[in-house]
Chains A and B, each alone.
Chain A
């Protein structure tokens, strides 16, 4: 088993209100599994992804990834662990505006210590794989939405992670680009990686091996 979430709880508080983003959430994900998370806005899907990706510590419950408990690690060790084992794909891409396509993809290796000398050749392969070779010196502002998302996926895959976490990966894309992105995620899972992705799109969710639904911070199926 690659991922084991057990009894996760997470509450966001401010002076006026409290929002239960995760409520006793438990989920298991095997290697090569391609799982979609569906639910209405504000149901805790993104919180689930960030908690799974070791970015957001839960109030209670445990997370086990690759047999390790990342939240038991010191911050810098957990960051290195995250860089090595988890890839993120965002709906808004989060490409660095002052880096070109090649550099944006290569930026994923910044968190790897010691520095990965082979990353440049892997970047080239990924750019070729995602049809971005002729765009590698272009900046994000010069790319189409589909190209930006492909760049984002390439960046997520650079460190050969075990787990891909995608938050609405096709949400900003047209049908054709959305299909391409889902194909790439599928390919990753077919190669042994696990994918947990959040989507509103039922069609996109249908491409997953398994669909889990969330509502009010609770996994309902």
Chain B
């Protein structure tokens, strides 16, 4: 399974390993990793293309648009464990954007 192992990809993989069974939103990943959308989404696309990442649309609640959610597949978890930096080495950058709404 070939995937370009950039430092940004490692950061994203590490973020997915944190509570690996939860589905995550793109903006939350961006905030937690400090990666901008133009960097983050190509990584997510590559991971999904290689079947390391599962994607699904959230069931929309009334009045809210559906969001795209992401979670590592079993292969993805194994790959991430192999390639993600250890928590001690992991550098969490400043949030890419401020002003998130919870």
Q: Do A and B bind each other?
A: no
> Which B residues are within 8 Å of any A CB, using their own CB?
none
